[in-house]
């Protein structure tokens, strides 16, 4: 018995250098992810009520690497951090961008993906995402997003009229009604949520935001976990590295996007 056990232990130790083993009392058999399933193509509910989307597939791939069961729990985005703290689930998997404010509350994994912020304008308006171009114009943003902070930080002081909305759909509604000259949101949301719908036919991306010296747009999108659980974080980070290495990530990316959504900013650490 002992003879058999020793090599197994050695293998386990070797594996251990790559995959951190659990030392927690509770057996590690499943990860419960908190998801705000209202944000296609990243996370949404299928007509039959199943979770679907890029984030969901990535989550499943991570669970498969760690050989644990994946459970998804629906939770609205504005209450998702308190719900994590209240232990309603183990991790947040909901297109959450790492920001200094959020990083004070929870820990973040390494980069899942990254999407630029872009400006939607009417075709032919010639507006681009800069204070000079938008001076005297009205730009709509969703309240509580990093895009709102961006527009209020860089554009409002320079004479751009920034209006906050309760929801992104209201921003699009007022863009269509003509109250707004432009709207600022992340590029995939803009593409899937508006430009690819029939309503968005007369609109286009005016450009992506590149100027951000104060780093208000944060870094990248990651999985959030409670601060006192570095073990889980280490496992998730390891699984993310693995799915990149074995090509799973690229396969999933190709399923949803025709561009690279991984910005390879992995060197840039969470603040």
Q: Give the single-character DSSP code of 113.
A: B
Q: In a 3-state reduction of DSSP, which class is residue 224?
A: strand
Name which position in 30, 46, 105, 197 contacts another protein (CB under 8 A).
105
Closest residue by Cα to residue 28 from 18, 41, 17, 19? 19
- Residue 103 binding another protein, by CB under 8 A: no
Q: How far apart are the first and last CA of the chain?
A: 49
- Residue 197 binding another protein, by CB under 8 A: no
Q: Which residues, 6+ apart, have CB-to-CB distance to 68 below 8 Å?
A: 28, 29, 30, 31
CB of 141 to another protein, least distance (A): 10
Site string for another protein, 14-53 (x = CB under 8 A): ----------------------------------------
Closest residue by Cα to residue 159 from 185, 132, 179, 182? 132
Angle (deg, nearest 10), helices 230-245 and 248-256: 80
Site string for another protein, 78-97 (x = CB under 8 A): xx-xx---------------
- Residue 164 binding another protein, by CB under 8 A: yes
Nearer to another protein, 179 or 214 (CB): 179
- Residue 177 binding another protein, by CB under 8 A: yes
Residues in the site for another protein, rule: CB under 8 A? 78-79, 81-82, 101, 105, 143-144, 152, 156-157, 162-166, 170, 173-174, 177-179
């Amino acid at each position: 018995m002992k003879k058999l056990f020793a090599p197994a232990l050695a293998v386990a130790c070797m594996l251990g250098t790559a995959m951190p083993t659990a030392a927690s009392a509770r057996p590690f058999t499943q990860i419960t992810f908190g998801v705000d399933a209202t944000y296609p193509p990243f996370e949404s509910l299928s007509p039959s009520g199943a979770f679907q989307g890029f984030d969901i597939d990535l989550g499943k791939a991570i669970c498969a690497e760690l050989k644990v069961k994946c459970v998804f729990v629906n939770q609205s985005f504005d209450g998702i951090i308190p719900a994590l703290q209240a232990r309603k689930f183990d991790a947040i998997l909901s297109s959450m961008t790492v920001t200094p404010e959020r990083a004070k509350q929870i820990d973040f994994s390494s980069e899942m993906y990254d999407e630029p912020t872009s400006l939607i304008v009417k075709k032919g308006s010639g507006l681009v995402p800069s204070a000079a171009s938008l001076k005297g114009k009205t730009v709509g943003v969703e309240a509580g997003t990093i895009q709102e902070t961006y527009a209020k930080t860089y554009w409002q002081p320079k004479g751009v009229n920034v209006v906050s909305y309760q929801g992104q759909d209201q921003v699009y509604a007022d863009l269509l009604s003509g109250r707004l000259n432009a709207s600022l949101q992340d590029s995939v949301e803009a593409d899937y949520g508006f430009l690819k719908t029939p309503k968005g036919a007369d609109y286009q991306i005016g450009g992506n935001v590149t100027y951000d010296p104060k780093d208000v747009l944060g870094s990248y999108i990651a999985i959030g976990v409670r601060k006192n659980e570095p073990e889980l974080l280490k496992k998730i980070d390891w699984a993310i590295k693995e799915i990149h290495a074995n090509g799973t990530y690229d396969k999933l990316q190709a399923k949803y996007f025709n561009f690279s959504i991984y910005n390879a900013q992995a060197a840039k650490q969470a603040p």
